[in-house]
Structure 1
């Protein structure tokens, strides 16, 4: 939601003064609906954003950068959730690589999930 807001009302030097909170009483299904809704909002804003637009994220960032950050956030937190539920899951290699290479252009090629030490770290370490 924050990335969609930044693009919808861009600022050259600050974040919007807003916070996202999912109610503590929300079920897992409801929390997933929130994530889906906000993902769709970001997608909608990205479709309509001028590619030359720059919005604040610790400096000026283009819509493609916000798309990569949104993808990275969803993949990372989906991984967190699946680990907490003891579900074996890794993000799709093509999607991970697309986001990772946009955010870290100097990183070596390949599937970042397969090479990331935190992904394969045993539980409790």
Structure 2
């Protein structure tokens, strides 16, 4: 199952649909089991999407460990980002930032040679791998935020199925792809699998032959 830019755009649309219209005060609540606020978590998501896209703006992505942008944090325990949302634009403005960053990554994925590799902390990956990473970040962090806002939503099972096949080949699907993805990323426990306290994905290129 291939992962393309269109699938990333679907994930970002899901994020916006679930989170738009939430009162500004709720964005200062802690996001799920994270140490970050809901606002900080959404900024972190935007930052992930942007920095993934920037890797493929280079002529030789594999030759540069990371794009050397200045990284900072708004508070000691907050996420370290290269971009931040304008607080005066409110939550809807920050969702616009996420949409823009997701769109950049989707475009980069679809216009970069599929054999191109870029570095990642979990080993080098190709554009499809980074698309899948962006989808995982989008879906699970939307879940983190929605938990604190009592927002109900469930992404297309197809998205979870694609990223599980691409990034979590060691994880069998039990129940639904979405619940399996939440388990694989340490968000939930199930009746037959205790909650993960240590996890990673595997981004190395895979054959679709």
After TM superposition, the score normalised by the length of structure 2 is: 0.53
In the other structure, the counterpart of 1:99 is 163
Stretches of structure 1 lacking an aligned partner (at least 5 in a row)? none
Alpha-carbon deviation of 1:118? 2.4
Alpha-carbon deviation of 1:39? 0.6
Task: Judge conservation of contact 1:68–1:102 (CA < 8 Å) in 2.
Answer: yes
In the comparison of the two structures, how many residue pairs are matched? 121
SS of 1:27's partner is helix
Task: Judge conservation of contact 1:12–1:60 (CA < 8 Å) in 2.
Answer: no
SS of 2:150's partner is coil
After TM superposition, the score normalised by the length of structure 1 is: 0.84
Q: CA RMSD in A?
A: 2.1
Moved over 6 A (4+): none
In the other structure, the counterpart of 1:66 is 130
In the other structure, the counterpart of 2:146 is 82
Structure with the greater relative contact order (CA < 8 A, sep ≥ 6): 1 or 2?
2
Give 1:23's match in structure 2, choosing from 82, 86, 101. Answer: 86
Stretches of structure 2 lacking an aligned partner (at least 5 in a row)? 1-49, 70-81, 191-209
In the other structure, the counterpart of 2:172 is 108
